[in-house]
Amino acid sequence: MKLDDLVAIDVHTHAEVSCRQEPDPFWAPFDEAASKYFKVTARPSIAETLAYYRERKIGLVMFTVDTEFQIGNRRIPNEEIADAARDNADIMIAFASIDPHKGMMGAREARALIEAGVVKGFKFHPTCQGFYPNDRMAYKLYEVIAEYKLPAIFHTGHSGIGTGMRGGGGLRLKYSQPIHLDDVAVDFPDMTIILAHPSWPWTDEALSIALHKPNVYIDLSGWSPKYFPPQIVQYANGQLKHKMLFGSDFPLISPDRWIADFKAAGFKPEIHDLILKQNAIRALGLDQPEVAK
């Protein structure tokens, strides 16, 4: 990544349209419900997303979400994300997503992706994947991630996926309560853990864990900053100013909207660059000689 050329780094963007396989119709009801919840319709391809971010000089972390066990839709291949990052290394970082229910096969896939040299982290969505983050089932996968000292992003709090569907689409919010990640932070101190979103309605839990555990960060994606719980702004302006990360949740929220609302949301001007860029450089390990570009 050409860090000096970037004005910000968005640590939370989704790949939702594959160029290698047709959309899975099984996902359509979830997609429609999410579009209604977030009031969006556009689902750009990976190439379109890259062009959008390159025009704005914003770096991005991109991933898909493997929900084949819980929801049953066919995932976008991790290799497709990795290939895009390989071809656009100046601006993009690839994270992989592997459902923890895949056990040792999942751990083998993670190791192969890491050793191929492009994947630099992992994305988990406990609600959509149907597991508690501290379930020992997932630990074989975490062991691989921690061995390479890579970061992992975990969805926390309410989920727009399933909102409004009958029975919430069968998805359970309890899996994404942040306190379950406190165990993971203790058991894997060499794995950087990023709690995605303001974690509502458990915001205070996330703030406490990030304050207590050196390896835990918070990405502020999924919400416009003007709707953040006030304690997010309070702690970002104080004790957690080095632990908060810019994330948009693109394409559900655009970085243009997020950054504009962020600058008007009461964050001190002197921490803007920390949240928009500098904290991500440290959390993603981009300040380490072996990965810095």
Residue 290 pLDDT exceeds 80: no
Pick the CATH number of 3-283 from 3.20.20.140, 3.30.465.10, 1.10.1050.10, 2.60.40.3470: 3.20.20.140
* Contact status, residue 82 vs residue 118, Cβ threshold 8 Å: yes
Q: What contacts 24+ positions apart, CB below 8 Å, involve 113-117?
A: 113/78, 113/79, 113/82, 114/144, 114/148, 114/150, 116/82
Q: How confident is the model at residue 40 (pLDDT cuts 50, 70, 90)?
A: confident
CA distance 19 to 10: 22
Q: How confident is the model at residue 289 (pLDDT cuts 50, 70, 90)?
A: low
What are the tens digits of pLDDT across the range 75-96?
999 999 999 999 999 999 999 9
CA distance 164 to 105: 34
Average pLDDT, the chain: 93
Would you put residue 276 in left (φ > 0), alpha (ψ -120 to 50) or beta? alpha
Residue 25 pLDDT exceeds 90: no
Q: How confident is the model at residue 59 (pLDDT cuts 50, 70, 90)?
A: very high
List 123's β-bridge partners, or say none.
153
CA distance 274 to 51: 25
Residue 292 pLDDT exceeds 50: no
pLDDT at residue 291, rounded to an integer? 43
What are the tens digits of pLDDT across the range 188-223?
999 999 999 999 999 999 999 999 999 999 999 999
Domain ranges of the chain: 3-283
Amino acid at 34: A
Residue 102 pLDDT exceeds 60: yes
